[in-house]
């Protein structure tokens, strides 16, 4: 019994699983395999490396033809420009990063607060047409955001949520609640319902039983789910660009995109802003790397 949620969810094959002898002789990778992997790695990583390089090059070197790969002058002024405006005040970009943090954070908290109890209810109670309801909840994630962005734009204009952080928070929470319910239902299913039964016989109410005995066991699952929700909200672009326009509301993705275009593009600034933007996601992805594989296949979190 007493399966720790952490163990239960890190699906077996993803780790601690030595692959069966992959070659006939069980030797390492062949030369061809290594060569292909190197090519793949270069293709995948080149844009990232180029972005990092550009962010620390002097402007002269950024625009140099032929492009300078190695001997360029290193500078951190692009990073300074991300945060500090030319007049010495706060830059518009730094405001957009702050907006992103607020919008992503609040919408994730909202989705977690609503989604975790819902997942618990779906796991524990005999809900009418439970499977259909769960499928409906999942189906809201089938359509790409761009399909609904126009109707939402029109509705938001009616109720005055256009160009407001609250509007973005609500729409992101709405997208993250179904995800949270699905992911958390898998975690709740792993916790035996009898802990709550025992607690109720001890004299606690059903909600106290959930709060005191089940919730602490769900913390690792909640953390993983919240990080996924956070990453979604942090990266979201389509709603952000359609529903916001002013600098003090705009989140980072449209703000960075807005740097490109016009007569000249400050590529060094774009690259530095992108690096700053990517860092939190990398850190969080690293924190939940065990759950990433399980999370990709949503419902398949079970043993």
* Smallest distance from other proteins to CB 22, Å: 36
Can residue 143 be called a binding residue for other proteins (CB under 8 A)? no
Cβ atoms of 254 and 241 closer than 8 Å: yes
How many residues belong to the site for other proteins (CB under 8 A)?
A: 21
Can residue 87 be called a binding residue for other proteins (CB under 8 A)? no
Can residue 105 be called a binding residue for other proteins (CB under 8 A)? no
Can residue 197 be called a binding residue for other proteins (CB under 8 A)? yes
Pair of tokens at residue 145: 């955001």
Bridge partners, 286 (sequence order) = none
Bridge partners, 226 (sequence order) = none
* Smallest distance from other proteins to CB 141, Å: 29
Q: Which residue has the tokens 């790695």?
A: 41
Can residue 128 be called a binding residue for other proteins (CB under 8 A)? no
Give the helix/strand (H/E) hosting 236.
none
Q: With respect to other proteins, which residue has the nearer C-beta, 33 or 197?
A: 197
- Cα gap 294→10, rounded to integer Å: 7
Q: With respect to other proteins, which residue has the nearer C-beta, 3 or 146?
A: 3
Can residue 129 be called a binding residue for other proteins (CB under 8 A)? no
* Smallest distance from other proteins to CB 134, Å: 18
* Smallest distance from other proteins to CB 190, Å: 12
Pair of tokens at residue 118: 């819902």
DSSP for residue 73: -
* Smallest distance from other proteins to CB 221, Å: 15
Can residue 242 be called a binding residue for other proteins (CB under 8 A)? no
DSSP H helices, the chain, are 5-9, 31-55, 59-62, 77-83, 92-124, 130-139, 145-159, 165-190, 194-202, 206-209, 215-235, 238-243, 252-259, 267-287, 289-296
* Smallest distance from other proteins to CB 159, Å: 41
- Cα gap 250→164, rounded to integer Å: 9
Scan residues 198-227 and list those touching other proteins (CB under 8 A). Answer: 198-206, 208, 213, 216-217
Residue numbers of the site for other proteins (CB under 8 A)?
A: 1-2, 4, 126, 192, 194-195, 197-206, 208, 213, 216-217
């Amino acid at each position: 019994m007493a399966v720790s949620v952490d163990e239960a969810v890190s699906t077996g094959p993803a780790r601690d699983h030595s692959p069966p002898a992959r070659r006939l002789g069980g030797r390492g990778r062949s030369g061809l395999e290594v060569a292909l992997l190197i090519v793949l790695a270069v293709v995948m990583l080149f844009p990232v490396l180029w972005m990092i390089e550009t962010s620390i090059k002097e402007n002269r070197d950024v625009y140099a033809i032929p492009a300078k790969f190695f001997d360029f002058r290193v500078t951190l002024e692009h990073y300074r420009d991300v945060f500090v405006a030319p007049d010495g005040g706060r830059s518009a970009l730094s405001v957009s990063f702050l907006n992103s943090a607020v919008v992503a954070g609040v919408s994730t908290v909202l989705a977690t607060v609503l989604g975790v109890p819902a997942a618990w209810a779906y796991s524990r109670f005999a809900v009418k047409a439970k499977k259909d309801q769960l499928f409906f909840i999942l189906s809201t994630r089938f359509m790409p955001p761009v399909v609904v962005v126009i109707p939402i734009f029109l509705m938001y204009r009616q109720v005055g949520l256009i160009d407001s952080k609250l509007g973005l928070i609500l729409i992101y929470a709405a997208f993250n609640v179904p995800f949270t319910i699905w992911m958390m239902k898998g975690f709740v299913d792993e916790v035996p319902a009898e802990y709550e039964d025992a607690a109720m016989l001890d004299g606690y109410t059903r909600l106290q039983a959930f709060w005191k005995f089940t919730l602490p066991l769900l913390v690792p699952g909640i953390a993983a789910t919240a990080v996924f929700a956070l990453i979604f909200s942090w990266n979201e672009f389509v709603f952000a660009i359609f529903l916001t326009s002013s600098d003090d509301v705009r989140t980072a993705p449209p703000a960075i995109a807005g740097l490109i275009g016009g007569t000249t593009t400050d590529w060094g600034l774009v690259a530095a802003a992108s690096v700053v933007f990517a860092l939190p996601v990398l850190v969080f992805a690293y924190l939940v790397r065990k759950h990433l594989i399980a999370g990709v296949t949503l419902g398949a979190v079970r043993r």
